[in-house]
């Protein structure tokens, strides 16, 4: 949820056209990252921010960029104005993020006369080329940007403000060479911002090429989980996750985002859910940009209730009305958990996060609880279990009559102590505190 501070946007030094747009969006107060970063950015400083999506970081850079560029344009006499070329460049890892950032510029800049272009791969380039020729602000993913630049459609020589968004994710996605090529073509005299959810050594190395004497602003990793999100763990055997999921979906009215580690399993799960009467789409890095965008729009519109996503694809998804996030598996990286659950309870609403934890995932869960500095309560959910599959049991099928299994509700916190006999045991675990 969006925690806000007690200062006002006006106190940060923002001008009337921006304040009007913000009040039209019903933003009452700046979020902490906005309150910290905006005054420094308006003063021309470089900023390095530890902040992930959901903290309000987009407005933290978009508002000052709009203000700085519009101040510069009004002081240039009209007759002296050269054709537009980008004065601000925002690099972001995914198409989804690029589109969302573009939408933010449209919303916050609606009372200003600046133009922006959004550039990303996987779709035809012509509309983007046209937009790029007339843009003050370019929001782009690195690959397509370099393509257009090499064809002469985007120039970098007048860039005054440069933003590297989600820097850690960009490095994970292998964008380091592209980013370095782009940085090498930017004017040395410029204002730069770098945002990253995490700050490992590789990011600090990169930062040394991007920012100069930056102000550091940070939002603690557990801020998005601070309030508005009810988190619980459901202990469940591997083979019972799918029946548990179907049960949970049957009880759920709002949009549900399900996370899985691998593309293959995400696809399979979406297919199985659709087959079983829970219309679902999958979104992951193997899908074309167009297919990802389609899936996201179908979900956003509520045409499917369930979106199954991998971490990379879902990073930055900002869909209002996700009431439940399910960790179908427990991520190895504790930070990924925080990112995942931050997809619900957006902008002050309520949300729920469930983590389906099988015995082999308990150590992952412990690492998450250590990062959050709290234990996640265990929730017991009664559901109809699946019969043991022939492959997972050494007992003949006949010794597990299917009918009683379907009629006797199981409780998800029950764990079998023997993997080949999933249903029979009622050995129960509770979440370790630390
Ligand atoms: P971001 O971290 O930039 O992706 O923003 C997360 C969400 O919070 C987006 O839906 C924004 O529209 C919203 N948001 C950003 N700043 C504020 C604010 N000051 N008050 C309320 N909502 C905000």
Q: Tell which atom from ligand 1 comes closest to the C-alpha of 318.
A: 10
Average pLDDT of span 81-90: 85
pLDDT at 400: 36
| Phi and psi, residue 242, nearest 5° | -65, -50
In the DSSP assignment, the letter for residue 52 is: -
Question: The tokens 């992952």 sit on which residue?
Answer: 364
pLDDT at 350: 72
| Rounded-to-integer distance, Cα 156 and Cα 188, Å | 11
Answer for the pair 324, 344: CB distance below 8 angstroms, yes or no: yes
pLDDT at 411: 52
Average pLDDT of span 26-42: 93
| Phi and psi, residue 139, nearest 5° | -110, 125
| Rounded-to-integer distance, Cα 177 and Cα 227, Å | 39
pLDDT at 208: 94
Q: Whose CA is nearest to atom 20 of ligand 1?
A: 27
Which residues is 84 bridged to in the sheet? none
**Per-residue model confidence as pLDDT tens digits over 142-186:** 999 999 999 999 999 999 999 999 998 899 889 999 999 999 999
Average pLDDT of span 92-102: 94
pLDDT at 44 over 80: yes
* Side-chain half-sphere CA neighbours of 368 within 13 A: 30
Answer for the pair 324, 257: CB distance below 8 angstroms, yes or no: yes
Distance 404 CA to ligand 1 centre (A): 50
Q: Tell which atom from ligand 1 comes closest to the C-alpha of 104.
A: 12
pLDDT at 61 over 60: yes
**Per-residue model confidence as pLDDT tens digits over 352-379:** 999 999 999 999 999 888 888 788 999 9
pLDDT at 341: 86
| Rounded-to-integer distance, Cα 216 and Cα 49, Å | 6
pLDDT at 433 over 50: no
SS3 assignment, position 230: strand
pLDDT at 7 over 90: no
Question: The tokens 């009004």 sit on which residue?
Answer: 74
Distance 61 CA to ligand 1 centre (A): 12
Counting ligand 1 atoms within 8 A of each CB, the residue from 14, 58, 90 with the most, and so the one to mutate, is: 58
C-alpha separations of 125 from 12, 116, 148, 386, 422 in Å: 38, 16, 8, 49, 53
Average pLDDT of span 53-77: 85
pLDDT at 221 over 50: no
Q: Tell which atom from ligand 1 comes closest to the C-alpha of 31.
A: 19
pLDDT at 405 over 50: no
pLDDT at 228: 75
Average pLDDT of span 311-326: 78
Answer for the pair 414, 427: CB distance below 8 angstroms, yes or no: yes
Taking all residues of the chain, what is their mean pLDDT, rounded to a whole number?
Answer: 84
Helices (H), 109-251: 126-132, 142-150, 167-172, 176-185, 201-210, 241-250
Res. 2 pLDDT band, cuts 50 70 90: low
Answer for the pair 174, 146: CB distance below 8 angstroms, yes or no: no
pLDDT at 80: 57
Q: Which two tokens stand for residue 219?
A: 């939002």
Counting ligand 1 atoms within 8 A of each CB, the residue from 12, 26, 31 with the most, and so the one to mutate, is: 31
Residues with CB under 6 A from ligand 1: 2, 4, 27, 30-31, 34, 53-59, 318, 346-347
Average pLDDT of span 105-125: 96
Q: Which two tokens stand for residue 375?
A: 């234990």
Counting ligand 1 atoms within 8 A of each CB, the residue from 5, 12, 25, 59 with the most, and so the one to mutate, is: 59
pLDDT at 43: 96
pLDDT at 1 over 50: no
| Contact residues for 267 (Cβ-Cβ < 8 A; gap 6+) | 282, 284, 308
* Phi and psi based region of residue 373 (left: phi greater than 0; alpha: psi -120 to 50; beta: remaining): left
Question: Based on the number of CB atoms within 10 Å of its own CB, is 107 exposed (0-12), middle (13-18) or buried (19 or more)?
Answer: middle
Answer for the pair 351, 344: CB distance below 8 angstroms, yes or no: yes
pLDDT at 200 over 50: yes
Res. 89 pLDDT band, cuts 50 70 90: very high
Answer for the pair 49, 37: CB distance below 8 angstroms, yes or no: yes
Distance 334 CA to ligand 1 centre (A): 23
pLDDT at 220: 57
Query: In the chain, pLDDT over 70 holds for what percent of residues?
Result: 82
Q: Tell which atom from ligand 1 comes closest to the C-alpha of 58.
A: 3
Q: Tell which atom from ligand 1 comes closest to the C-alpha of 316.
A: 4
pLDDT: which is higher, 68 or 335: 68
Q: Tell which atom from ligand 1 comes closest to the C-alpha of 4.
A: 19
Distance 171 CA to ligand 1 centre (A): 25
| Contact residues for 378 (Cβ-Cβ < 8 A; gap 6+) | 232, 233, 234, 235, 413, 429, 430, 431
pLDDT: which is higher, 127 or 82: 127
Distance 305 CA to ligand 1 centre (A): 23
Answer for the pair 67, 18: CB distance below 8 angstroms, yes or no: yes
Q: Tell which atom from ligand 1 comes closest to the C-alpha of 60.
A: 3
Res. 421 pLDDT band, cuts 50 70 90: very low
pLDDT at 39: 96
Average pLDDT of span 226-241: 88
Distance 53 CA to ligand 1 centre (A): 9
């Amino acid at each position: 949820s969006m925690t806000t501070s007690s200062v006002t946007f006006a106190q940060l030094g923002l001008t009337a056209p921006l304040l009007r747009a913000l009040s039209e969006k019903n933003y009452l107060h700046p979020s902490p990252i906005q309150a910290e970063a905006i005054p420094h950015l308006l003063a021309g400083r470089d900023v390095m921010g530890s902040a992930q999506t959901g903290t309000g970081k987009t407005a933290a850079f978009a508002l000052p960029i709009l203000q700085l560029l519009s101040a510069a344009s009004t002081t240039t006499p009209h007759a002296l104005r050269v054709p537009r070329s980008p004065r601000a460049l925002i690099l972001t890892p995914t198409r989804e993020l690029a589109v969302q950032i573009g939408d933010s510029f449209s919303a916050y800049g609606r009372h200003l006369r600046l133009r922006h272009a959004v550039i990303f791969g996987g779709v035809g380039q012509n509309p983007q080329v046209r937009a790029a020729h007339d843009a003050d602000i370019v929001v782009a993913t690195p690959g397509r940007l370099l393509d257009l630049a090499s064809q002469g459609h985007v120039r970098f020589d007048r860039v005054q403000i440069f933003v590297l968004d989600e820097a850690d994710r960009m490095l994970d996605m292998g964008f380091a060479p592209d980013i370095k090529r782009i940085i090498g073509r930017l004017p040395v005299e410029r204002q730069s911002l770098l945002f990253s959810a995490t700050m490992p050594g590789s990011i600090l190395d990169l930062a040394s090429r991007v920012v100069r004497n930056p102000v550091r602003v940070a939002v603690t990793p557990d801020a998005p989980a601070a309030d508005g999100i009810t988190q619980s763990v459901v202990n469940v055997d591997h083979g019972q996750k799918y029946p548990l999921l179907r049960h949970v979906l049957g009880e759920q009215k709002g949009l549900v985002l399900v996370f899985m580690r691998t593309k293959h399993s995400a696809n399979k799960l979406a297919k199985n859910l659709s087959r079983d009467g829970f219309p679902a789409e999958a979104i992951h890095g193997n899908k074309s940009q167009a297919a990802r965008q389609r899936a996201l729009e179908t979900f956003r519109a509520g045409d499917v209730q369930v979106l199954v996503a991998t971490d990379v694809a879902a990073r930055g998804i900002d869909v209002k009305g996700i009431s439940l996030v399910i960790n179908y598996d427990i991520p190895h990286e504790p930070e990924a958990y925080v990112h995942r659950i931050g997809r619900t309870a957006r902008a002050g609403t309520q949300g729920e996060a469930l983590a389906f934890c099988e015995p082999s995932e308990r150590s992952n869960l412990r690492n998450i609880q250590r990062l959050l500095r709290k234990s996640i309560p265990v929730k017991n959910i009664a559901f109809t279990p699946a019969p043991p599959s022939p492959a997972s049991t050494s007992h003949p099928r006949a010794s597990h009559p299917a009918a009683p299994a379907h009629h006797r509700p199981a409780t998800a916190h029950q764990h079998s102590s023997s993997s080949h006999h999933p249903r029979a045991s009622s050995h129960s675990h509770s979440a370790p505190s630390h």
